[in-house]
Amino acid sequence: MSRTKLMIVVVLAGIVALSFASGATAAKKKIKGQDVYKEFCKPCHEVDSDNGEYTPMSLIMDQWETFFEEDFEETHKELNDPNNDNTPVTDVLTEEEFEALAKWTIDHAADSEQPMTCG
Contact footprint for other proteins (CB under 8 A): 18, 57-63, 65-66, 68-69, 95, 98-99, 102-103, 106-107, 110-113, 115
CA separation for the pair 47, 57 (Å, rounded):
13
Q: What is the smallest separation between the CB atom of 2 and other proteins, expressed in angstroms?
A: 26
Map residue 88 onto helix, strand or coil. Answer: strand
Q: Is there a contact between 62 and 54 (Cβ–Cβ < 8 Å)?
A: no
Q: Find how far residue 23's CA is from the centre of its chain.
A: 19
Name which of 38 and 103 has its Cβ closer to other proteins: 103
Name which of 19 and 83 has its Cβ closer to other proteins: 19
Q: What is the smallest separation between the CB atom of 83 and other proteins, expressed in angstroms?
A: 21
